A and B are shown apart, each in its own frame.
Chain A
């Protein structure tokens, strides 16, 4: 893609984001705020995991510290003086930076699994301490604060909070992007590729790793601060392992190889969570399945698929690229529909109410799903997902054959070495 195209795409994306409050309901706007925060958090995380190659399993620590620091600042300054409400995320940034500096100093002395374990230990330490330290984290109930008016804005409506979040997220994403262009950002990449070589070239590998850690935790702190401003409260649950887990899943589903991949992954997952969590209790199962599938078949992440499609077009012409992509999309949809059917049926079959009903009636009553009722005992019911999965398999096989047919070197390898092409 040429430079002007990229700029055009980015510009329209930003314009769309700016126009959202006029287009969406209050509930969806609130979901958009969550999506923006998750996107920033994922980008901050993937600076460390993607660009520096340091897999952290405890990034909730810096997110949470940013949130609590911001809440304390909200209470202390009451929207006046040096820190009016729009500047409060700076406190989160500073807190994230400070804690990141201390934790990162020790963690980045090691790499690989040991690094991951240190970050995990730090986060678990905070998580287990936080409910005890009532002065700092408010115990089990947490602490709360009020958004105060500043700069002629009341921050009473979701729209104003949305614009505040959007401004901070866009600024932070721009800064994170430019970090990759600076010499330090290039060194961070070098650290991922070969830390030993970096050392032999005379650079301070520990310092480079630490800088990546600190920048990452600082932006995670901003994300936490924005979350605190949005919710006006936080408790020790923000340190939970599930928060650290979510950011890892989001980033890798989106693809840590590209800059916006994690942001898109996080926005997508947060939106899915918002939209689907009301419809089904199995939302986390779908998320886990998606993650495992991405890890196994598209290791570069979902955004990596675009790159793979572009390379296919360059090598084999657009006709084949379009037909194979279409086949793959339809196959994926069929497979997803089949799996969703089975999972939802199982969920209803295994639910407490249904089992009680079945025990009482002595038979298996039909299950209402997707606007129809399905008798669980009949073969026809289970033929539906079986057929969907069979179609998916057939289409997938056809797409694969089309790819492999005339002399083309290893289509699967092309998908894998996308990692290098993307970064």
Chain B
């Protein structure tokens, strides 16, 4: 029972973290229709910025500064790269961000080396929050979840309760109309892109200390973030939240399941048939944990391409 509870909690918190990274991406995607391949790179940048600043200003300020710096990089990318190729069409923008993600990863390798750096949770935050049975639960994990929830609440409030939010949503759904009404849509794009990058940077700064900070962390998260945006639905924050938590929980639980499809078929008396076929049918669910999100993504793309909570295109 304890293990299931811990797995569930870990899954939820991992999902919340994934949400932090994908929130900016889903907004940009909804607004510009462009999947930003470099988005997960901002997550990595956040971790590296925080790692570098930590020794100078301390952990807390470093996290905040890292998020701001990642946001600044994001603004620069929108202003000097994406906007320049906008008139070539979506495919071009997508390819450009793809190239940028390459450059960012390689620059990190150049400056910090191709190995994990020593960025860890500060001693003042490294204690157990509670213990259940024989296991203890680190407080930092809860903190990560708390940051993500606070971020979701702030973002939601900003988008639905303020004037800025009205303009942003207008620019997302009806950019031309918003422009005709005298709003500077270019500025809104730049702002949303920057805020998205800053959120990803914040997630990186917070999570990098707990997991490892290495030059491949963008790749590890990158694909999963696309899965979330696609499963959640174009530009839907709620969808991104739902998909993140769903995927976090599913993968976390699947790791603990020591059964295969053949065991399931045994209820129908088809175990020997399934074992005879072998391959997929005899693989344990735990070894398929990495595969499940992609199966989910394919299913959603085929059955409901607008995603779980996306608007009808």
Contacts and interface: CB of A to CB of B under 8 A. Distances in A.
A53 B95 CA distance: 13
A17 to B, nearest CB: 30
Interface in A253-273: none
Given A116-B35, A132-B288, A292-B99, A299 B88 contact: yes
A249 B106 CA distance: 15
B219 to A, nearest CB: 7
Interface stretch (A180-188, A342-350, A375-383, A391-399): A342-350
B106 A117 contact: no
Contacts of A117: 35, 226, 230, 297, 301
A68 interface: no
Secondary structure of the A contact surface, majority rule: helix
A341 B223 CA distance: 34
Given A117-B226, A351-B113, A125 B295 contact: yes
A108 to B, nearest CB: 12
Interface string B73-109: 0000000010011001011101110111011001101
A350 B112 contact: yes
Contact of A245 (B33, B98, B106, B112): B98
Nearest to B106: A285
B291 interface: yes
Given A55-B94, A245-B98, A288-B99, A135 B278 contact: yes
A295 interface: yes
Nearest to B102: A288
Contacts of B301: 110, 114, 117-118, 121
Most central of A113, A285, A299 by chain B CB within 10 Å: A113
B302 interface: yes
Interface string A278-294: 00011011011101100
Contacts of B291: 125, 128-129, 132
B298 A299 contact: no
B191 interface: no
Nearest to B223: A124
The B contact surface, by secondary structure, is helix
Interface stretch (B172-180, B239-247, B279-287): B279-287
A124 B294 contact: yes
A121 B298 contact: yes
A346 B294 contact: no
Interface residues of A, number: 46
A135 B111 contact: no
Contacts of B95: 55, 248, 252, 291, 295
A241 B219 CA distance: 9
B123 interface: no
Contacts of B165: none
B305 interface: yes
Given A110-B301, A117-B230, A291-B99, A346 B110 contact: yes
A122 interface: yes
A133 interface: yes
B142 interface: no
B192 to A, nearest CB: 18
A209 B43 CA distance: 36
A350 B113 contact: yes
A350 B99 contact: no
B110 A110 contact: no
A352 interface: yes
Contacts of A296: 81, 84-85, 96
B279 A136 contact: yes
Given A135-B278, A295-B96, A106 B102 contact: no
A49 to B, nearest CB: 8
B304 to A, nearest CB: 11
Contact of B280 (A133, A288, A343): A133
Interface in B42-75: none
Given A284-B102, A296-B85, 11 more contacts: A53-B91, A113-B94, A117-B297, A117-B301, A121-B298, A129-B288, A241-B223, A285-B110, A288-B99, A292-B102, A295-B85
What 10 A-B pairs are tightest by C-beta distance, nearest first?
A288-B102, A285-B106, A292-B99, A291-B99, A288-B103, A128-B290, A125-B294, A128-B291, A121-B297, A295-B96
Interface of B: 33-35, 81, 84-85, 88, 90-92, 94-96, 98-100, 102-103, 106-107, 109-113, 219, 223, 226-227, 230, 278-280, 283, 287-288, 290-291, 294-295, 297-298, 301-302, 305
